[in-house]
Amino acid sequence: MLIIKDLHAGIEGKRILKGFYLTVNAGEVHAIMGPNGSGKSTLSKVLAGDSHYEVTKGEVMFQGKNLLELEPEDRALAGIFMAFQYPVEIPGVNNASFLRMAYNAKRKYLGKQEADPLEFNDLLKEKLKLVNMSDDFLNRSLNQGFSGGEKKRNEIFQMAVLDPTLAILDETDSGLDIDALREVARGVNALRRPDNAIILITHYQRLLDYVKPDFVHILSDGRIIRSGDKELALLLEEKGYDFMEASLK
Amino acid sequence: MSVKTIQEFASKEYAYGFQTPIEADVIARGLTEDTVRQISKRKNEADFMLKFRLKAFRHWQKMKEPEWANVEHAPIDYQDIIYYSAPKQAPKKLNSLDEVDPELRKTFEKLGIPLMEQKKLAGVAVDAIFDSVSVATSYKQKLREAGVIFCSFSEAVAEHPELVKKYMGSVVPYTDNFFATLNSAVFSDGSFVYIPKNTLCPMELSTYFRINTEGSGQFERTLIICEDNSTVSYLEGCTAPKFDSNQLHAAVVELVALDNAEIKYSTVQNWYAGDPKTGKGGIYNFVTKRGKCLGKKSKISWTQVETGSAITWKYPSCILVGDDSVGEFYSVALTSHFQQADTGTKMIHIGKNTKSTILSKGISAGQANNNYRGAVEIKKSAAGSRNFTQCDSLLIGSRCAANTFPYIDVQNASSQVEHEASTSKVSDDQLFYFQQRGISAEDAMGAIINGFCKDVFRELPGEFAVEATQLLGLKLEGSVG
């Protein structure tokens, strides 16, 4: 589904990703772990097409398309969803109408008619249950005045409504208390299917207690230094990043 | 989302920049007492009008152009303006709308303003003003049956002189300010509305202003009188062709509301704003609009969506004379490129328990300068009065500016005044968030702007709210930065 080869990227002249390789197949969940500054967020922003970041080398193919040539909205329409680490507040635009715009943009891309407003409303209500939020969530301005936990749940809620092919969760677990973490994890698990894939970007092992990854990769200084299964995350938690980096040298 | 994309938002082509090739009867450039007499003569006016004009002209000669507005422009040469330009073939009196010059009819069709009564916008009566004269007024007959007078100002002077004499200048006196005084001397036409007692005006009334001749100014007057227990909703729209030179539009609007009367006055202003790249040309929109709530429990509500003009200088105001009268001002002012706006309102509370609401939304993009200027005066006599003001500014890009100049003067202890203000900025991060969900940057900008303006759009009559939404979208397309 996703093939990344020798990706080099950075921001404002600073080199961050330095030869990143990753292959993700349908039905897989990949966890990418790494210390601060290792390039975790850069990876998600580059895949989503944030224009602040510059790709200097490498190739990213998504379902046969050259992802790096696409505008951010076209990447989203092709099926890529990023749950933001820090979702921005958008005053004056409510959650429900934002999602309707996004949902209909996707339908238009697929050559379908706009969703019937009543049916769409039912869909929203159904997906709200997944993240355990009440209906008034829909009428609030997008992320405005939301607590940290509400913002993260809203990202998962949007993911549930938009039903992406590849979801990239950028430190969705950071800043969550244990209850919120469980709910977010429940939401993510409910969306796992053989025909989609998830990349979990995280600093800590604890999310992986609830969302079981098929692969765990350790990122250090812009490169994957080790890949393994769930055990690798546990080892990492026990030994720490410094040990992992040192053991390679 | 880059700064460049943001930049592109605000530079959409102006769709109404065409000029209609039509022969015009033009009075030579320049302004002397003779010009004033010529205008009056061209219009076959009664003596009282000429006297009014001359008084104003003589007063104007002693006045100086005001300099307090926070806008910049080269000095205006008042001797280089055409003060009267009218399509030659305009017949004195039209028996039916079919007699309107087809070229003119086509012009208004192209602007989306049908003069034929069976067309879309059915239910809206239109007075079409082309340069200096009114060329057609639709639905006159139907309105007449309800007792409503809706006609050109010239026609009102000829046919209802008693009403014109009584109310003209009663809200905006000829000495009021430089531009209002100039207008009083040289105004050429405009719309006149009279709603008799106990009448709900059966349809929306609307005037559409079009400046066509290069070098001409447009000086029109609108007078709306709403008698006891009556209601009217009125809408004006404006466009002009693209010219490299600046053109002056100095209008005067007077509203009078008697006991329990309600006037709702909405404006969608889309004058040519000048060249997006150089700032050359465009309309100077220096307009005096004022309403007087003369009667008890009367209400005047101004709603404006200002998107055009090189410079906007206008402060639709309410004088709340009658006890329990209400004044409202809802405004969206959008400036992009090199546009400048100094706009706001004045609420003058004189009667007891009078109320006013001011809701101003300023959007600034490109290198534009957007100013809100408002005054709330609560006189000693206005016991128990209230005002609520909210001024919000939205900045798009980093080269634009927004300022707020509120003046508040309260002279009694039983009144209450509230003022809230906010400034926010559309960020690249916000646009990227939309894009990541599959929504284009244009649509994202539209949604953000709409969200910002929705409290004002809600006040616009039905389909004009849709028009205003689209207009803002068009105006910003290509401009964010």
Q: Is A210 or B140 the better-scoring residue by pLDDT?
A: A210
Show which of residues 438-477 on chain B sit within 8 Å of chain A, judged by CB atoms.
438-441, 443, 447-448, 450-452, 454
Give the pLDDT score at B475: 61
Q: What is the pLDDT of residues B83-141, one digit of tens each?
A: 887 766 654 555 566 666 676 667 666 666 555 554 444 456 677 777 666 666 777 77
Q: How close does chain B come to A94, measured CA to CA in Å?
A: 8
- Measured from the Cβ of residue A122, the count of other Cβ atoms closer than 10 Å reads 10
- Which neighbouring-strand residues pair with B327? B300, B356
Note the ipTM here.
Answer: 0.95
Tell me if B437 and A109 make a contact (CB, 8 A cut-off). no
For an interface test with B, which of A94, A101, A142 has the most B Cβ atoms less than 10 Å from its Cβ? A101
Nearest neighbour of B451 by CB, restricted to A73, A93, A106: A93
Interface residue A92 vs chain B (CB under 8 A): yes
Q: Cβ neighbours of residue A69 under 8 Å, at least 6 residues apart?
A: none
Burial class (CB in 10 A: 0-12, 13-18, 19+), A40: buried
Q: Side-chain half-sphere of B413: how many Cα atoms within 13 Å?
A: 0
- Which neighbouring-strand residues pair with A200? A31, A169
Q: Is B274 or B430 the better-scoring residue by pLDDT?
A: B430
Give the pLDDT score at B357: 96
For an interface test with B, which of A90, A159, A170 has the most B Cβ atoms less than 10 Å from its Cβ? A90
Tell me if A73 and B441 make a contact (CB, 8 A cut-off). yes
Q: What is the pLDDT of residues B319-334, one digit of tens each?
A: 999 999 999 999 988 8
Q: Residue B292 domain-assigned?
A: yes
Interface residue B423 vs chain A (CB under 8 A): no
Closest CA to A217 of A22, A25, A81: A22
Please determine, for residue B239, whether its predicted confidence score (pLDDT) is greater than 70.
no
Give the pLDDT score at B120: 43
Helix (H/G/I), strand (E/B), else coil: A137: helix
The helix or strand, by DSSP H or E, that contains position A42, with its residue range, turns out to be helix A40-48
Please determine, for residue B164, whether its predicted confidence score (pLDDT) is greater than 70.
yes
Interface residue A102 vs chain B (CB under 8 A): yes
Q: At what angle do helices B178-186 and B33-42 cross, to 10 degrees?
A: 50
Closest CA to B437 of A144, A77, A168: A77
Tell me if A93 and B447 make a contact (CB, 8 A cut-off). yes
| A99-125 average pLDDT score | 93
Q: How close does chain B come to A64, measured CA to CA in Å?
A: 19
User: Could you tell me how many CB contacts below 8 A there are between chain A and chain B?
Assistant: 80
| B74-85 average pLDDT score | 83
Q: Cβ neighbours of residue B331 under 8 Å, at least 6 residues apart?
A: B302, B303, B304, B305, B306, B343, B344, B345, B359, B360, B361, B456
Nearest-Cα residue of chain A relative to residue B5:
A51
Averaged pLDDT of chain B: 82
Q: Side-chain half-sphere of A102: how many Cα atoms within 13 Å?
A: 32
For B403-413, letters b (16+ CB in 10 Å) and e give: ebebeeebeee
Give the pLDDT score at B122: 47
Q: How close does chain A come to B364, measured CA to CA in Å?
A: 17
Nearest neighbour of A102 by CB, restricted to B428, B438, B450: B438
Q: What is the pLDDT of residues B373-392, one digit of tens each?
A: 999 999 999 999 999 999 99
For strands A53-62 and A90-94, give the pairing: unpaired
Nearest-Cα residue of chain B relative to residue A80:
B436
Interface residue B4 vs chain A (CB under 8 A): no
| B224 within 8 A of B137, measured Cβ to Cβ | no
Q: Residue B192 domain-assigned?
A: yes
Helix (H/G/I), strand (E/B), else coil: B297: coil
Interface residue B429 vs chain A (CB under 8 A): yes
Interface residue A90 vs chain B (CB under 8 A): yes
Give the pLDDT score at B107: 67
Q: How close does chain A come to B448, measured CA to CA in Å?
A: 6
Separation CA B423–CA B425 (nearest Å): 7
Nearest neighbour of A105 by CB, restricted to B438, B451, B454: B438
Residues of B in contact with A105 (CB under 8 A): 437-440, 443
Nearest neighbour of B437 by CB, restricted to A76, A94, A97: A76
Chain centroid offset of residue B117 CA: 24
- Which CATH homologous superfamily contains domain A2-248? P-loop containing nucleotide triphosphate hydrolases (3.40.50.300)
The 3-state DSSP composition of chain A as helix, strand, coil percent (nearest 5) reads 40, 30, 30
Residues of B in contact with A51 (CB under 8 A): 1-2, 428, 432
Q: What is the pLDDT of residues A137-146, one digit of tens each?
A: 898 999 999 9
| B220-244 average pLDDT score | 84
Q: Residue B481 domain-assigned?
A: no
| A234-239 average pLDDT score | 86
Give the pLDDT score at B231: 95
Nearest neighbour of B454 by CB, restricted to A73, A92, A109: A92
| A64-69 average pLDDT score | 95
Nearest neighbour of A91 by CB, restricted to B436, B443, B451: B451
Q: What is the pLDDT of residues A43-54, one digit of tens each?
A: 999 999 999 999
Give residue B55's domain range: 3-476
Interface residue A72 vs chain B (CB under 8 A): yes
Residues of A in contact with B441 (CB under 8 A): 73
Give the pLDDT score at B92: 52
The helix or strand, by DSSP H or E, that contains position A93, with its residue range, turns out to be strand A90-94
- Look up the pTM and report it: 0.81
| B411-429 average pLDDT score | 92
Give the pLDDT score at B311: 85
Strands (E), A107-214: 141-142, 166-170, 197-202
Interface residue A145 vs chain B (CB under 8 A): no
Number of domain units in chain B:
1
| B291 within 8 A of B319, measured Cβ to Cβ | yes
| A72-80 average pLDDT score | 96
